Amino acid sequence: MRCAPLVLCLALLGCDSGPIASTGPRPPELVQPAADAEVLNAIQFEWTAVGAGTGYHFQLAETATFDGLVTDTLGIFASNHVVRNLSLGTDYFWRVATVSSAEEAWSETRRVRVTGQATPPGRVQPLLPINGAVQQPLDTAVSWQPTEGATSYQLQVSLDARLLLLVVDLKNITETEFAINALVLTYPYWWRVRAANPAGYGSWSSTWTFVVGGG
């Protein structure tokens, strides 16, 4: 019997003639909080990034069936999402979906229990360069003391004491030092920093100043 061209082609390629499965989006893997963790009432939920530019759909509910959603957020492009002001003594269930065209691929579901009140971190203490320092290099690193309860910091560096002419305004710094590159000789700079956690931002530090290459 002669094989039809399509059948012969499939046989030569080692394929069968069954339906070809579509390739949908890959679901994210949940990172934190861990399953059944006891947490404060401001939470940063994190998951693995599936790919650059990928969108995510986050859901949080008081039931494992996700009836009566507490949060239902689309259009997230980071691999984390913060939810605040949750009820103490309450169990919550969360999940995340990778969004691709009209398809969604959901992660596993995790449960957490809110057991405490979250508060923003305290005020940051600047460290170096010391306030009023001169003869600083063109690439100057500013640093500050670690702040209890902080998960990140925001740094501002400005050309004026009122911090209106910002040359650096950077959030989500996870270290307690930051190198400012390509500064200008003989210019004074003013800088300040504040700490952050899922509950929000703490107060700004005092504003310190330094001069590059002169004074």
Q: Are residues 95 and 166 in the same domain?
A: no
Last residue of a domain, one of 96, 116, 136: 116
Q: What angle do CA 148, 153, 158 make, to 5 degrees?
A: 135
Distances (CA, A) of 58 to 72, 77, 84, 93, 171: 6, 11, 14, 11, 23
Radius of gyration of the chain (CA): 26
Q: Which of 91, 116, 141 is the last residue of a domain?
A: 116
Q: How far apart are CA 8 and CA 138, in angstroms?
A: 71
pLDDT, the chain, mean = 89
Strand partners, 212: 136
pLDDT band at 115 (very low <50, low <70, confident <90, very high): very high
Q: Range with the lowest mean pLDDT among 6-15, 118-127, 193-202?
A: 6-15
Same domain membership, residue 140 and residue 108? no
Average pLDDT of the segment spanning 34-45: 97
CATH of the domain at 207: 2.60.40.10
- On whether both 98 and 146 belong to a single domain, the answer is no
Instruction: Assess if residue 20 is contained within a domain.
Output: no
54 pLDDT more than 90: no
User: Cβ of 187: how many Cβ atoms within 10 Å?
Assistant: 13
User: What range defines the domain where residue 171 resides?
Assistant: 126-212
Q: Which of 69, 96, 116 finishes a domain?
A: 116
> Which pLDDT score, from 0 to 100, does residue 10 have?
38
The count of other CB atoms within 10 Å of the CB of residue 158 is: 20
The answer to whether residues 149 and 104 belong to one domain is no
Q: What is the pLDDT of residue 22?
A: 53
Angle CA 171–167–80, to nearest 5:
15
User: How confident is the model over 152-170, as pLDDT tens digits?
Assistant: 999 999 999 999 999 999 9
Q: Among the ranges 2-6, 8-12, 133-137, which has the highest mean pLDDT value?
A: 133-137
Count of CB atoms situated within 10 Å of the CB of 174: 8
Please write the tens of the pLDDT for every residue from 131-152: 999 999 989 999 999 999 999 9
**Domain total in the chain:** 2
Together in a domain, 201 and 133: yes
CA distances to 20, 21, 22, 28, 29 from 25, in Å: 16, 13, 10, 9, 13
Q: What is the pTM of this model?
A: 0.76
Say yes or no: 188 and 152 in one domain: yes
Average pLDDT over residues 75-97: 96
